[in-house]
Amino acid sequence: MLNIIIYVFAFIIGTLLGSFTTLAVYRIPRRENILNKRSYCPNCNHKLGFLDMIPIVSYLFLRGKCRYCKDKVRIRYLILEVFSGIIYMLFIMSLNLNILTMGYKELIYILIMTIYIVTLIIIIGIDRESNTIIKSVKKFGLVIALIYILYLYIVDINIYRYVIYYILLLLIYVIQNDKYIYSIFYILFFTLLFTGTTVVFTTVIFVLLITAINILIYKYKKIENKAIPICSYICIFNIGFMILNNFTNSGM
Ligand SMILES: [Zn+2]
């Protein structure tokens, strides 16, 4: 019973995170503040009230329209919120937590991994819209990766290989230019740092597969100059295989 409450709670947190993610994906490329500026309708610019911002519920209650100007809210937002809720619930389930014996170590781990997942979803969103990973997101990635290594050090895990991944990550960040390949390598080392070799190896195999399928489809349909969102694929498969890996290893 306690577990069901936790999973429902995780779903709700997930939808809130999803809602934050859509906001971040919209604002980061426009260089708007993502934390201390109130949400507003992108059509009429009216500030949103608390009742307009409840994930899923607001959308259904307002029938997918802005309360003030009646402009349609994209269904994509609803889908992303539901999707985030499910992903986050699965992630919490996969950790196989015992809430009664859980300490601060587990809590900090969950917090860091939550920020990790949110970062990947933001990367997916921005990659889908503009085929790039914005530098400020990469910079944020460096910060959260450093916090993670610090956490591992404090809980007494050998951080040797994590430091190596971090140095490589830093190097890619410093030498990067606009080429997409740098973003791909950045994501690879970023996911490696958080989810380990097994998960990333599986991820890479599936990304190669789907990329090959993509190329074939583009060739068949004679589509040219259309970018394949490889970074998005890496993030999606990485989240999926991380959760799967947790389940098979029965949690944290
Ligand atoms: Zn409006």
Show pLDDT as tens, one digit a residue, over the chain (252 residues).
788 899 999 999 999 999 898 888 888 888 888 877 778 888 888 888 888 888 888 888 888 899 888 888 888 888 888 999 999 999 999 998 887 788 888 999 999 999 999 999 999 988 888 888 888 899 999 999 999 999 999 998 899 999 999 999 999 999 877 788 999 999 999 999 999 999 999 999 999 999 999 999 998 888 877 788 999 999 999 999 999 999 998 766
Please report how the helices 160-175 and 135-154 are oriented relative to each other, as an axis angle in degrees rounded to 10.
170
pLDDT of residue 252: 64
Ligand 1 centre distance from Cα of residue 17 (Å) = 22
pLDDT of residue 25: 87
Ligand 1 centre distance from Cα of residue 76 (Å) = 17
Ligand 1 centre distance from Cα of residue 24 (Å) = 19
Ligand 1 centre distance from Cα of residue 41 (Å) = 5
Ligand 1 centre distance from Cα of residue 58 (Å) = 14
Sign of the torsion formed by the C-alpha atoms of 170, 175, 176 and 182 = negative
Residue that finishes a domain, picked among 61, 94, 127: 94
Contact at 8 Å (CB) between 183 and 141? Answer: no
Are residue 185 and residue 75 in the same domain, yes or no?
Answer: no
Q: Is the full-model pTM beyond 0.85?
A: yes
User: Does residue 178 form part of some domain?
Assistant: yes
Are residue 121 and residue 38 in the same domain, yes or no?
Answer: no
Are residue 149 and residue 78 in the same domain, yes or no?
Answer: no
Are residue 15 and residue 49 in the same domain, yes or no?
Answer: yes
Ligand 1 centre distance from Cα of residue 25 (Å) = 19
User: Does residue 35 form part of some domain?
Assistant: yes
Are residue 141 and residue 89 in the same domain, yes or no?
Answer: no
pLDDT of residue 205: 97
pLDDT of residue 223: 80
User: Does residue 99 form part of some domain?
Assistant: no
Measured distance CA(186)–CA(62) in Å, rounded: 40
Ligand 1 centre distance from Cα of residue 48 (Å) = 9
Please give the DSSP secondary-structure letter assigned to residue 148: H
pLDDT of residue 251: 66
Are residue 128 and residue 238 in the same domain, yes or no?
Answer: yes
Query: Which residue has 């068949």 as its token pair?
Result: 220
Ligand 1 centre distance from Cα of residue 75 (Å) = 15
Are residue 126 and residue 69 in the same domain, yes or no?
Answer: no
Question: Residue 210 sits in which domain range?
Answer: 104-252
Q: Could you give the count of Cα atoms lying within 13 Å of 116 in the half-sphere of its Cβ?
A: 25
